Structure 1
Amino acid sequence: MNRRDFLAASAAVLATVRDSSAFAASEPLFRTGNARWQSTYDAALRVLAGNIQVMPRFPGPVLIEGSSYAGIWMECGPHEALLYRSFRPDAARNSHLTFFALQKEDGQLPANNKATAASPGWAQIQMVVPIAATAWELARTTGDHELLEKAYIACSRWDDWLMRHRNTRGTGLVEGFCTYDTGMDNSPRWHGMPNACPDGSARNLPRVASLPRLCPDLSATTYGARVALAAMAQALGKASEASMWQQKAATIRQLILDKLYVAEDTAFYDLDAQNNFVKINCDILSRVCSEHVPDQRLFDTLWQRQIHRPQGFWPQFPLPSSAIDEPTFVRPIPRNSWGGASQALTAMRAPRWMDHYGRSADFAHMMDQWCEALQRDSTFRQGIDPLTGTFSPDEAPKYSPAALVMTTYTWRLAGTHDEGDEIWWNIRAGHPAAQDATFRMKTDNGKIAEMHYTGKAATLSLNGKQIATIASEGTRLITTKDGTPKALVGINNRSATTNVSLHISGKATSQRSLQADEHMNLKP
């Protein structure tokens, strides 16, 4: 998106919002005849509303982590608030601006801002989902030029800081100095390593012979940030800087693949200061996929040999923080464990890559499993046993990522959601969430998208104009932002083949058949 297109889109968003003033205060609405699903969904919304708070050192409300975590962390807070933006757009914006406002003169972004601390957290870099990527998505979809400019400046300075202070070996990859850098608390990946850097400064390397490490996930986060910075530069009319960021992104992506992927293990590992791989088969894998570092061919190999393997990362309740057959898997599962538990944070991040790599039907299975676990125990805790779906009992309730898994997955399973320049309508007649259900949401460009289930069919409309009626147990209709149908996708996780009865307004009803994950283009 170039600067002219960004400004035009911004004006269009604002105009549409003004034209839809009757809906200006509307929040996404989900109503189902399934009392169990409705009760858990509503409980999740109460958790999230209760976790909107004002933290020290920044005046506006943000979405905090909740549970035992009284604050906001860069690795996840901006992403969480982005997912909640339809309910609290102010909190989504503030959850980014907090980090930019607290940025140091040398470019360092704080790892966190906590209510219980005297200052922001500077002892680790703690990044997973790139704040540049979430800021770009928020600015692009809301037409927020001020946020765009602030994010571009702050995230450019952060990249410079990382290359000055976390590239001490001169490889071009991002180095991990301590456990908290990756947010993988209590993971065997970091066994024997310090949690934070000395003297409360992420610039200080602990005196451990095997440090620093070249980290695939920290480098992948930087790759994703550079991709976003290129898009931001283009939108700001900085064509030469956009090209620079594209080249920097391509360079670090290739370094990850060349230096940190071990083909015989089908795994990405840290490389320590003695050039030994730290061979712990853990959540590094999903984080690298989240930023789309592997191409489709490599991903298909990872899927077959690692991700979709029941003894790997696809047990009864995917995705565990260590492979099931990883020798260091920690049992019994303690609180806040990245040594085996399936973490709500990982589940929350899965939409960033599962559909991208064409695994929508399997993702539906994962979403069903997580929603079932949350309905059995709607206290919204941090992690579950990947074999039983039981939440760790000694963790505190009211954890925002778990609540966001319930709300986000509900809409992705049987409702509608924005996806870039498209709207995705997920039709699952017969699904528990779809029982006599109504979904209504304001799209990113201010239009009102609605789905109504009656029996075996769903009726779809945009701003009151009917788009289509579809009878199916697992089909996604992809449309443009103005509702023009583009494609169908098979998303049924219970059957290899899905039958579809499709009636697009103004056209005759047609019968289709889709295989799982099949993408079928629709003629204009």
Structure 2
Amino acid sequence: MDIEAIQKKYHQALAGLESNTRTVFGYERAVLIEGGNYPGIWLECGPLEGLVYGRKAPEVAIANHEVFFHHQRADGYLPCWIWGDRVGSSQIQMVVPIAKTALETATLTGNEAFLSKAYQACTAWDRWLSRNRDSRQTGLCEAFCQHDTGHDNSPRFKGLPRTCPDQNAAMCPDAGKLPYLAPDLSASVYGGRTALAEMARHLGRTSETAMWQEKAEALRQKILQHCYDPEDECFYDVDADGAFVKVRGDTLTRVLCEHVVSPATFERIYARHIKNPQAFWAPYPLPSIALNDPSFVRELPPNSWGGASQALTALRAPRWFEHYGKKEDLNELMQRWVEALLAAPEFMQQMNPWTGEFSTSAGYSPAMCVFIDFVDRLKLLDG
């Protein structure tokens, strides 16, 4: 790859991230917003993006978490998004656990006061989820609507509401066979609890450390018990009738991101699905739906989690590829993304998994984060 072109694009990414660092409703410090078509910060991704950019701007890593803590309701609910003029409450919209990125941010910045604040906020959030997203009393976290997981226009939620009624994330729509037992949302709660255990240990709360560890392991076992199909070696939603919703999508990668499965199970899943060029190992990995799944949306419309390879999925990939020892494959994935971004006229949201052509939302912060993170990890500009 052309080092001069990489250097130029890297500076463009940093300039774009600086431009997308702005104030939002009711919070005085600037945060890194999603950019492009998205005029605010989302719980699904804002804390992780802040953490990645925080290696250059630590104050942004802190702000991208504290903005959610600042707007946390008394009952523990964290807003799903915060725009320039209002705060959202119509879904939960979580993927990478905010407790986990908060712990990593505290480690990055050495900010003990932030760690204590994050522990209190994320403990209250866990309680809200337990009270309001376990209506079937399984111990798992339920999906009520499409935007709960940020899976816009995904066949996973085909025909189901985008948001909860009355802008209330505690209300399940009366539609389809909702609520779903959601493996990825449950994995996010699991990852949050492992992080809360580590926070408690660091804060000297010994009994709470053990409590979080026990709660996390109990949830991990429930995910495997209810949402894993050993015949397909895949994780699926479970509808209100107790049936698997058999869409092979990046829901699977989100479960892997929280290290729910054992190394042996991971290797089987990885060989069958992730590294399979007919499934997720496309020329430009990882598509949001397996290439060989009947529900794959071949038209690849804008903002579609129906097939396109999404920058957010790429940004999360190091969090599980490295954990499971897939460094060489991660390097290949990162190189393909860097190549595609170098060829793209703008930093955009999604790309064609066969051609690497980008579309949707120029000025998109996650794509900028992917570029700087992957260039740094590959050491393409060293020396």
Q: TM-score, normalised by structure 1?
A: 0.72
Find the counterpart in structure 2 of residue 127 from structure 1: 94
CA 1:405–1:44: 2 relative to 1, 3 Å = same
Give the one of 292, 297, 304 matched to 1:337.
Answer: 304
- Match of 2:340, SS state, is helix
- Residues in 1 aligned to 2:70 and 2:309: alpha-carbon distance in whole angstroms: 33
Q: 1:230 touches 1:241 (CA, 8 Å); kept in 2?
A: yes
Shift of 1:381: 0.4
Letter in 2 for 1:36: A
CA distance in 1, matches of 2:34, 2:324: 29
Of 360, 364, 374, the match for 1:399 = 364
Q: Report the counterpart of residue 215 of structure 1 in structure 2.
A: 182
Q: Which whole-Å CA distance do the structure 1 matches of 2:370 and 2:22 have between them?
A: 20
SS of residue matched to 2:307: coil
Partner of 1:77: 46
Find out whether 1:157 has 2:124 as its counterpart.
Answer: yes
Are 2:106 and 1:139 equivalent residues in the alignment? yes
Match of 1:89 among 55, 58, 68: 58
- Which structure ranks higher in relative contact order (CA pairs < 8 Å, sequence separation ≥ 6)? 2
Distance 1:77 1:362 in 2: 26
Q: Please state if 1:351 is matched with 2:298.
A: no
Higher strand share: 1
**2:374 corresponding residue in structure 1:** 409
Please give the secondary structure, in 2, of the residue aligned with 1:202.
coil
| C-alpha separation in 2, matches of 1:66 and 1:142 | 25
- The partner residue of 2:37 within 68, 79, 87 is 68
Q: Is the 8 A contact 1:319 1:343 kept in 2?
A: yes
Contact kept, 8 Å, 1:382 with 1:401, in 2: the verdict is yes
Q: Conserved in 2, the CA contact under 8 Å of 1:317 and 1:370?
A: yes
Alignment correspondent of 1:283? 250
In the TM superposition, residue 209 of structure 1 has moved relative to its aligned partner by 4.5
Q: How does 1:486-497 map to 2 (within 5 A)?
A: none
State which of 264, 279, 286 in structure 2 corresponds to 1:319.
286
**1:170-212: per-residue Cα shift (whole Å, max 9, x none)?**
0000000000000010000000110000000001110124011
- The Cα RMSD (Å) is 1.1
Does the aligned pair in 2 maintain the 1:43–1:378 contact within 8 Å? no
Q: Aligned residue pairs: how many?
A: 383
Structure whose residues are more often helix by fraction: 2
Does 1:48 find its partner at 2:13? no
Q: How far does residue 82 in structure 1 lie from its aligned partner after superposition?
A: 0.4
| 2:73 corresponds to | 104
TM-score by length of 2: 0.98
2:172–2:179 Cα contact (<8 Å) kept: yes
1:396 and 1:145 mapped to 2: Cα distance?
37
CA contact (8 A) 1:40 1:378 kept: no
Q: Distance in 1 between matches of 2:245 and 2:139?
A: 19
- TM-superposed deviation, 1:36: 1.5
The letter for the 2-side match of 1:67 is G
| Residues in 2 aligned to 1:98 and 1:35: alpha-carbon distance in whole angstroms | 37
Cα shift readout 1:72-103 (whole Å, capped 9, x = no counterpart): 00110011000011221111111101101100
1:201 matches 2:168: yes
SS of the residue corresponding to residue 321 of structure 2 reads coil
Q: Deviations over 1:468-515 (max 9, x none)?
A: xxxxxxxxxxxxxxxxxxxxxxxxxxxxxxxxxxxxxxxxxxxxxxxx
CA distance in 2: counterparts of 1:86 and 1:219, whole angstroms: 29
Q: For residues 272-318 of structure 1, what are the alpha-carbon distances to aligned partners after superposition, in whole Å with 9 as ceiling and x for unaligned?
A: 11111100000011100110011110110011100000011001000
Residue number in structure 2 paired with 1:310 = 277
CA distance in 2, matches of 1:34, 1:355: 25
Task: Report the Cα distance in structure 1 between the residues aligned to 2:122 and 2:375, rounded to whole angstroms.
Answer: 32
